[in-house]
């Protein structure tokens, strides 16, 4: 009689963290090479925005479809698929030399990233049913941690391999992208060998019909709408850091590293904060700090901008895991589909916003340049020339305008989450009264 393989909870969690690390490396490294790709391939901000947004298209596509089939095919098959998409996307990115090559490779990586979340969010919730939000914070800390690793990798390799050149050769970017292959191969191997549990919804015996009914609840719809705002506040600002702050500091990419470092530490120590304030209380404080952080990023200059990055990092640290954790704890009947619809909504919102703001950024740039100026000619101008100076002046003006528009989103979230705190407080009182009456 053969024994059933045991479920190794810690090994599954470690492999999940490595898979998310690849997802975050794709964000951090792409943020570091995005501006360089624009120069080499003569891409304007609108085209760069489209390429960056492609990852956010593939993500919701994969996470929503994955959420709908994960209970049927199992989490293991989804994560093996994520490995294949990651491997193909990374290799294609390394060898791409055109807009469409970068577009397709980014789409594949986006699909892989969404597939990772589609399987890993319900996996973590199923492994740690008694401590969901805290463990989701611990799992999601590897997203900002990967951004730190990715941006520092870009920064250090640019310094060492580029030989002090202001603009690193493109082969340096290819080496930087290839770094992602290491954790990709490791997590692919681990997931192929481990046994997986069923999802929490299946284990609890909640029917598929009841799950879809739960998705129509007003509270879940409210959280979906809020997810648009939290994801845009965090991911758009992070992804476009190098573009928006290149003229503010010589080390623009380090701003993203500061933000991600604070996010990593915040999520690592999220347990006591979440237990004291509950997810909705943490979300309200996060919205306040995010709005303040963006305001400071707009108005501070020089080294002071890194202080603003710390405030902003504290603000966005808990957004993603606490949004998903809130649904996992308070709307468990929505199952894996509910968790993955949250992630898909967030990434879809970012993709639309990123495309819109890419075009808006170009419009602002054109308004700031001389009449009839070619944006591509000014972008490609030699350093120190009048055209290069005019281009940098235009960028210095465009960045704050983009951030001013974005700052409105966390301001609206402050009102929304304040309402959520009061709603949950009243619901808890009602539940206590009903329990006493029974």
What are the E-state strand segments in 100-250? none
Kindly state the average pLDDT of the residues 21-34. Answer: 78
Q: What is the mean pLDDT of the chain?
A: 86
Residue-wise pLDDT for 53-108, tens only, equals 787 778 888 988 998 888 889 999 999 999 999 999 999 988 887 888 888 988 99
3-class SS at 293? helix
- pLDDT at residue 136 above 50? yes
Higher pLDDT, 173 or 314: 314
pLDDT given at position 245: 67
- pLDDT at residue 231 above 90? yes
Which of 253, 107, 243, 124 has the alpha carbon at shortest distance from 176? Answer: 253
- 438 — pLDDT class (breaks 50, 70, 90): low
Number of other residues whose CB lies within 10 A of the CB of residue 436: 7
Kindly state the average pLDDT of the residues 124-136. Answer: 91
Cα–Cα distance list, 48 to 35, 116, 159, 321, 354 (Å): 8, 25, 24, 28, 10
Residues 86 and 358: their CA atoms lie apart, in Å, by 26
- pLDDT at residue 151 above 80? no
Higher pLDDT, 155 or 318: 318
The pTM of this model reads 0.81
Higher pLDDT, 388 or 322: 322
Phi–psi pair at 128, nearest 5 degrees: -130, 70
Domains of the chain plus CATH, in order, are 10-437 (1.20.1250.20)
- pLDDT at residue 353 above 80? yes
- pLDDT at residue 175 above 50? yes
- 32 — pLDDT class (breaks 50, 70, 90): low
Number of other residues whose CB lies within 10 A of the CB of residue 214: 20
pLDDT given at position 5: 64
Residue-wise pLDDT for 265-309, tens only, equals 999 999 999 999 999 999 999 999 999 999 998 888 778 888 888
How many H helices and E strands in the chain? 20, 0
pLDDT given at position 2: 46
- pLDDT at residue 1 above 50? no
């Amino acid at each position: 009689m053969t024994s059933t393989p045991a479920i190794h909870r810690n090994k599954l969690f470690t492999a999940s963290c490595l898979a998310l690390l690849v997802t975050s490396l794709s964000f951090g490294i792409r943020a570091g090479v995005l501006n360089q790709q624009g120069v080499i391939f003569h891409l304007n901000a609108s085209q760069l925005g489209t390429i960056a947004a492609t990852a956010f298209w593939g993500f919701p596509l994969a996470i929503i479809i994955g959420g709908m089939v994960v209970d049927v095919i199992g989490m293991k098959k989804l994560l093996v698929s994520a490995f294949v998409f990651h491997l193909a996307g990374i290799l294609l990115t390394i060898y791409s030399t055109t807009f469409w090559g970068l577009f397709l490779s980014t789409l594949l990586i986006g699909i892989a990233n969404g597939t990772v979340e589609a399987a890993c969010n319900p996996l973590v919730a199923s492994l740690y049913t008694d401590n969901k939000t805290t463990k989701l914070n611990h799992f999601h800390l590897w997203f900002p941690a990967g951004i730190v690793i990715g941006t520092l990798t870009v920064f250090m390799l640019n310094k060492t391999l580029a030989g002090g050149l202001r603009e690193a050769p493109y082969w340096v970017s290819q080496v930087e992208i290839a770094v992602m292959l290491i954790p990709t191969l490791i997590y692919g191997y681990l997931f192929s060998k481990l046994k997986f549990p069923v999802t929490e919804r299946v284990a609890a015996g909640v029917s598929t019909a009841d799950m879809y009914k739960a998705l129509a609840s007003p509270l879940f719809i409210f959280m979906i709408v809020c997810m648009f705002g939290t994801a845009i506040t965090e991911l758009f600002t992070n992804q476009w850091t190098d573009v928006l702050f290149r003229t503010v500091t010589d080390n623009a990419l380090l701003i993203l590293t500061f933000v991600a470092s604070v996010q990593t530490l915040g999520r690592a120590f999220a347990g006591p904060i979440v237990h004291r304030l509950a997810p909705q209380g943490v979300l309200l404080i996060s919205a306040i700090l995010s709005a303040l952080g963006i305001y400071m990023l707009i108005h501070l200059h020089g080294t002071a901008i890194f202080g603003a990055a710390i405030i902003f990092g504290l603000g966005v640290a808990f957004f993603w895991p606490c949004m998903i954790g809130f649904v996992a704890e308070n709307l468990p009947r929505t199952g894996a589909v509910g968790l993955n619809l949250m992630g898909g909504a967030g990434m879809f919102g970012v993709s639309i916003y990123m495309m819109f703001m890419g075009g808006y950024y170009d419009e602002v740039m054109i308004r700031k340049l001389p009449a009839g100026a070619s944006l591509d000619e000014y972008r490609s101008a030699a350093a120190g020339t009048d055209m290069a100076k005019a281009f940098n002046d235009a960028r210095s003006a465009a960045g704050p305008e983009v951030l001013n528009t974005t700052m409105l989103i966390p301001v609206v979230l402050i009102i929304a989450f304040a309402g959520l705190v009061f709603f949950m407080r009243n619901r808890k009182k009602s539940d206590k009264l009903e329990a006493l009456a029974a």
